[in-house]
Structures are given as structure tokens and as C-alpha cells.
Amino acid sequence: MLRRRQIYLPLSLREPYFRALHYPPSAGHLGIEKTLRRLRSRVYWPGMRADVQTWIQVCEPCQRSKPERRLPFGKCCLLDHVISFIPFILTFYGPKPKSTGGHTYAFVMVDAATRWLDI
Ligand SMILES: [Zn+2]
């Protein structure tokens, strides 16, 4: 919706205007929402959100300084949604002290459905 104070920006001026508002040190490299709010207080063009998202995603200072918003990777474990596709998991455990048979590794098998462990 075009408001009275907003100016419709032609294609050639959109990115330069974004850069003028986003890149100066005093602008602070704001995030998508705050940048959009600042832009919309003055100008308008269709697809403004998508353009701003793209430009901020490729803005090097933003990518260097903004914290990662993804959860950290978890520990390796059996995934419940994968269990139905994997009948069992095989691995080796060791090295351990030599057994009477001279073996140092154990062959481990886990039934993914019941989590039954067999060595
Ligand atoms: Zn930036």
C-alpha cells in the first residue's frame, strides 16, 4: 500500500537507495525487518522484502558480524524418524584389552526399532 510520504522507486534506484541506508557506519547494518521499516518510511516498490532479504544475505559485514541463528548441531544418536527405515546399526567397539581369543574389538549390533543391543 502506497502511503502519502512514500515515493515509488524505479528499479535503477532501489539497490543504491538500500545501500545508502544500510552501509554507512552510522546505519549499523540493521537486520531485514528494521531495514524494511526504515525503507518503507520513505519509499516503496513491489517485491521490496525479497530484494532486501537478498541484499542483506550477500552483505559481507552482516554475514561476518551477525550471530548464527541456527541451533547448534547435536550429538550423534538414533533418530526416531529414521528408525523405521534402518533395521539395525552395526559398528565396532574398541580397542579393548585382548580377549582369551586374542580379539581387541567387539562387533556391536543395535536393532533400531527396539534399540536392542547385542555384542
Ligand atoms: Zn549489512
Task: Dump the DSSP string for 51-110.
Answer: HHHHHHHT-HHHHHHSPP-SPPP------HHHHTT--EEEEEE---S--TTS---EEEEE
Distance 33 CA to ligand 1 centre (A): 13
63 Cα: distance to centroid of ligand 1 (angstroms): 7
| pLDDT per residue as tens digits for the range 33-92 | 999 999 999 999 999 999 999 999 999 988 888 777 777 776 665 555 554 566 778 888
pLDDT in the model for residue 48: 96
Q: What is the mean pLDDT of residues 1-7?
A: 73
pLDDT at 77: 58
pTM across the whole model:
0.54
